[in-house]
Each structure stands twice: as C-alpha cells, then as structure tokens.
C-alpha cells in the first residue's frame, strides 16, 4: 500500500488547539519575565496554583466563546475577536479572584503586559495553525463507496460539520442499471479504479455507504476485503456520520435499527440519576432566585412591550409520553393561536418586541425552573413539544417518540447545536441531536451542554 497522507482527527485538532493555547500562554509569560521588568505572575513553582487557575479560566471561557470550534478556528478575523473576548473575560475574573491569585502590582503597566502577552501568544499560535494544520495538505482524504441515493445527504452533512474531512470522490457499488441516477456534487470514479485511486490520491480511509450490503458488487467486495487484510481503514457510513456530526443518522437506519441505539448506561444508572436530580434541584432554586431579582424589570418590560398577562401555561409531552403543563413568560401577542396550533417562524409577527428579547436571551424559560423542581423536567434533555406537533412529527419522522424515554429539558444537545425546529426537516435534525444525547448521555456531555448554553445566551441566539 502507498503511504497515506498526514491528517488530524477532529478530536486531535481540538486537543491540539486547547493544549497549544495553554502552552503558548505559559511560554509567553515566562519569556516576558526574562526580557522585561515584569513580576506580576512569574512562571515558577510558588505560583503553580495561580498559574493553574489562569489556565482553567482560559480553557473554560475558550469553550464558552467557541474558540475551539473548528469552523471558526480556520478564520483569523473571527479567531482574533474571540481571543480578545476570551482573554478579557478570563483576566477580569482572574483579577477578581481573591486569595488564589497574586495581588495587583503597584506598576499598573504590568497588567497591560500580562494581558497583551496572553492575547499575542495565543493569536500568534493560531496564525500558525491556520497556515499549517488547517491547510489542505492536512485534510483527511476519503473515498466513498456506496449507493448514489445516499451520497448527497452524507456528503452535505459531513462537509458542514468538518471542513477538513475531504471526500475526494465516490464509487457506485450497485450493479449497472438502465436509468441510473447520477450525483454531480463530487467526482464519480469507476469501480475498477478503486485500488489505484487510493494510491494516487493518498486516501486515508474508505467509507462504505450502502443501505443494503447485498447491493455491493463482487469485484468491489473483493477489493474491500484485500484492503482490510492489509490493515487499511474501512468504515461504515453511519459510524462516521455520528462521529463527525454528533447526530444519530436516523434517515439511514432500516429494519436493523437496534444496532444504532445502544443507549447510554447513564439512563439507568442510579448514582448518575441521583446526582442529576440533585443538580436539577439546586440549579432550579438558583434560577428561580435570579428570576425573582430581575422580576421588576421583566414586569416593566411586559407592561410596555407585551400588553397582557406575564405568564402562560401550555401542555407539553414529558417522559414516557406523560402530559404536563409548562410555565413560560409570554413572548407572543394575546390569542396568538386563534386559528389553531402552528409552528413558530423566523421573524414571526406574533412575537412582541419585548418577547423577542425574552426569547433571544432565554429569559422566557426562567419559570420552567418550577417545572424542574416538580420533577416534570430536567435542566438538560430534549425540549418538550406539544402533543399536536408530536403526533404530526411521529407520523412523518421514524423514532420520533424515542426522545421521550428521558425527561425533557430546559436546554439540550439539540438546542446548543442547531436552530429552532420550525419544519419537519428541521425537527428531524433536532431529533438526531436528541437521540445522540440519549445514546451518549454522561456527566461530561452534560457539562459540555451547560457551557454551550452559556455561549448561546452570551451570543443572543435564543429563539
């Protein structure tokens, strides 16, 4: 076999970005103390706790401001803006942290050195990342072998999720037909060229995208067996799709659906569920207290911007299909659904000006902490839908009601990864994310969702 091209996996690139950001900060501060009159935070063992705290703040707020998003990390202008936001927030909180951080220096210029060094060192490394690691020479080159019917959806989803995952072309694995459908999005190669293509294009892996493996011709099957015996990477398309997009590919799942839903053990883990409930109670109490503090401002905004009742209740579908009444701050005009239930739309005329602010800032969700205390909801889980929409979507989208095996949530994987589902297609994408959460549910994923939810609020993305 010819030598494969060098490439980095998604997890490797994210780990590289996180690790090198922190290494460059430490290196920058060390060099600063060597060549300048700087003594605020010197790199030495005595300052180990203060240094670790700084790195922790940078790592957390780097995630919040999405500096490790691979799409954004490939754009220097966006990267610089997020670095400034991340460093500014981290340094401000660092200065305000008592006991664990050094006292502010008498020479205030040292604070400027400290701040600018962190910004410069991270951005300097990011320039190198964009020029080298994020360049086409390190793209992962892939050859797709499969049925034409699945090529377009597969290619589109992967190209949107990972800009460095380069599908060089595809080979149709089906027997020739009289009226064979063609796909023009990527080059199509002949089945007999499979082995040579791997050498010529330095292919890293072959992805087999076939709904029914019996459609794969004998020649292609033989070539794939030879590649496998030589240690070449051959992967199944649903596995790749889920790994890169972080969604369960329900549109590709057939009668052997049980292979794709080995749900997380956390769904039945008593210890996990116990601490999950404790977290729900504590977080909802804090949320309700915050809601009480800002209630006067919300009342004034509702008085002038909504002209109607502040709260409203609505029936939603909960765990195991149980109906409960959700409580929200009203963001639409009174009698918004006189003609029956309908999807909320972008720039929906039924949403008031103050209601738009409540939705974008997610403040309209605050009363749902009451639902969480009652046990109808959790802080994290699939968003609860109305019975009318559940019935409609369940008739169209396979496995839709599977999302009800866990409690609905105030926020969730779908909420932080995609926009509001106002159509059947958008609802299917949301379901894919919800099923991914149910399948991979864990403490780490819950923490990830909480941090990304903070990003959603800060960037004013709520709907």
* Residue-number span of the structural domain to which 29 is assigned: 10-133
Contacts 24+ apart (CB under 8 A), 286-295: 287/366, 287/369, 287/372, 288/366, 288/369, 288/370, 288/373, 290/366, 291/366, 291/367, 291/369, 294/363
Would you state the pLDDT for residue 200? 87
pLDDT tens, residue order, the chain (463 aa): 555 556 666 677 788 899 999 999 999 999 998 888 888 888 889 889 999 999 999 999 998 888 888 778 888 888 999 999 999 999 999 999 988 888 888 788 888 999 999 999 999 999 998 888 777 677 888 888 877 777 777 787 877 777 778 888 888 877 665 445 566 678 888 888 888 888 888 888 888 887 666 677 888 888 889 988 888 888 888 888 888 888 888 877 766 677 667 778 888 888 999 999 999 999 999 999 999 999 999 889 888 877 778 888 889 999 999 999 999 988 887 766 666 666 666 666 778 888 888 888 888 899 999 999 999 999 999 999 999 889 888 888 888 999 999 999 999 999 888 876 667 788 888 999 999 999 999 998 999 899 888 887 777 565 5
Asked if 395 and 274 sit in the same domain, the reply is yes
Asked if 204 and 220 sit in the same domain, the reply is yes
Asked if 345 and 414 sit in the same domain, the reply is yes
Instruction: Tell whether 4 is covered by a domain.
Output: no
Q: Which of 192, 212, 245 is the last residue of a domain?
A: 245
Instruction: Tell whether 258 is covered by a domain.
Output: no
Asked if 321 and 374 sit in the same domain, the reply is yes
Q: How far apart are CA 197 and CA 192, in angstroms?
A: 10
Asked if 105 and 146 sit in the same domain, the reply is no
Q: Which of 105, 133, 161 is the last residue of a domain?
A: 133
Asked if 116 and 198 sit in the same domain, the reply is no
Instruction: Tell whether 146 is covered by a domain.
Output: yes
pTM assigned to the model: 0.82
Number of domains in the chain: 3
Would you state the pLDDT for residue 126? 93
Instruction: Tell whether 256 is covered by a domain.
Output: no
Compute the C-alpha angle 263/418/319, nearest 5°.
40
Instruction: Tell whether 238 is covered by a domain.
Output: yes
Q: Which residues contact 353 (CB under 8 A, 6 or more apart)?
A: 305
Asked if 45 and 62 sit in the same domain, the reply is yes
Asked if 164 and 269 sit in the same domain, the reply is no
Would you state the pLDDT for residue 178? 46
Asked if 102 and 217 sit in the same domain, the reply is no
Asked if 225 and 301 sit in the same domain, the reply is no
Asked if 204 and 106 sit in the same domain, the reply is no
Instruction: Tell whether 363 is covered by a domain.
Output: yes
Q: Are 63 and 69 in contact (CB under 8 A)?
A: no
Asked if 50 and 120 sit in the same domain, the reply is yes
Would you state the pLDDT for residue 103? 86
State the CATH number of the domain containing residue 222.
3.40.50.720
- Let me know if 143 is exposed, middle or buried by CB neighbors in 10 A (0-12, 13-18, 19+): buried
Instruction: Tell whether 111 is covered by a domain.
Output: yes
Q: Which of 217, 245, 273 is the last residue of a domain?
A: 245
Would you state the pLDDT for residue 148? 74
Instruction: Tell whether 254 is covered by a domain.
Output: no
Q: How far apart are CA 308 and CA 331, in angstroms?
A: 10
Partnered with residue 206 across adjacent β-strands are 143, 234
């Amino acid at each position: 076999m010819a030598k494969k091209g060098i490439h980095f996996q998604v997890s490797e690139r994210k780990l590289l970005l996180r690790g090198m950001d922190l290494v460059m900060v430490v290196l920058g501060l060390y060099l600063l103390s060597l060549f300048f009159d700087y003594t605020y935070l010197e790199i030495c063992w005595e300052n180990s706790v203060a240094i670790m705290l700084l790195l922790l703040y940078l790592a957390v707020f780097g995630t919040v401001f999405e500096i490790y998003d691979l799409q954004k990390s490939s754009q220097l202008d966006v990267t610089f803006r997020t670095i400034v936001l991340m460093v500014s927030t981290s340094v401000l909180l660092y200065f305000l942290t008592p006991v664990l951080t050094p006292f502010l220096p008498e020479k205030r210029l040292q604070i400027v050195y400290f701040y600018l060094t962190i910004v410069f060192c991270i951005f300097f490394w990011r320039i190198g990342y964009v020029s080298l690691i994020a360049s086409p020479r390190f793209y992962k080159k892939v050859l797709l072998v499969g049925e034409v019917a699945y090529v377009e959806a597969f290619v589109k989803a992967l190209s949107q999720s990972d800009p460095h995952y380069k599908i060089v072309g595809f080979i149709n694995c089906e027997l020739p037909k009289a009226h064979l459908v063609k796909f023009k999005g990527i080059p199509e190669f002949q089945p007999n060229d499979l082995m040579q293509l791997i050498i010529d294009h330095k292919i890293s892996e072959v992805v087999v995208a076939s709904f029914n493996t019996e459609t794969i011709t004998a020649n292609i099957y033989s070539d794939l067996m030879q590649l496998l015996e030589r240690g070449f990477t051959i992967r199944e398309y649903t596995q790749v799709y889920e790994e890169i997009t972080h969604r369960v590919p329900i549109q590709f799942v057939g009668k052997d659906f049980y292979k794709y839903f080995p749900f997380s053990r956390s769904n039945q883990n008593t210890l996990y569920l116990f601490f999950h409930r404790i977290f729900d109670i504590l977080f909802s109490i804090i949320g309700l207290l915050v809601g009480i503090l800002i209630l006067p401002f919300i009342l004034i905004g509702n008085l002038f911007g909504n002209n109607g009742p502040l709260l409203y209740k609505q029936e939603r579908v909960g765990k195991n299909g149980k109906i409960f009444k959700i409580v929200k701050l009203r963001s639409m005009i009174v009698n918004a659904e006189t003609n029956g239930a309908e999807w909320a739309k972008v720039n929906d005329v039924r949403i008031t000006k103050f209601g738009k602010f409540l939705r974008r800032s997610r403040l309209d969700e605050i009363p749902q902490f009451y639902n969480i205390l009652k046990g109808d909801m959790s802080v994290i889980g699939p968003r609860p839908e109305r019975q009318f929409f559940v019935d409609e979507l369940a008739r169209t989208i396979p496995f839709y009601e599977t999302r009800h095996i866990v409690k609905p949530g105030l926020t969730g994987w779908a909420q932080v990864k995609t926009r509001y589902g106002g159509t059947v297609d958008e609802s299917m994408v949301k379901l894919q994310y919800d099923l991914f959460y149910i399948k991979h549910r864990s403490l780490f994923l819950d923490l990830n969702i909480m941090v990304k939810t903070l990003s959603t609020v800060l960037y004013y993305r709520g709907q």
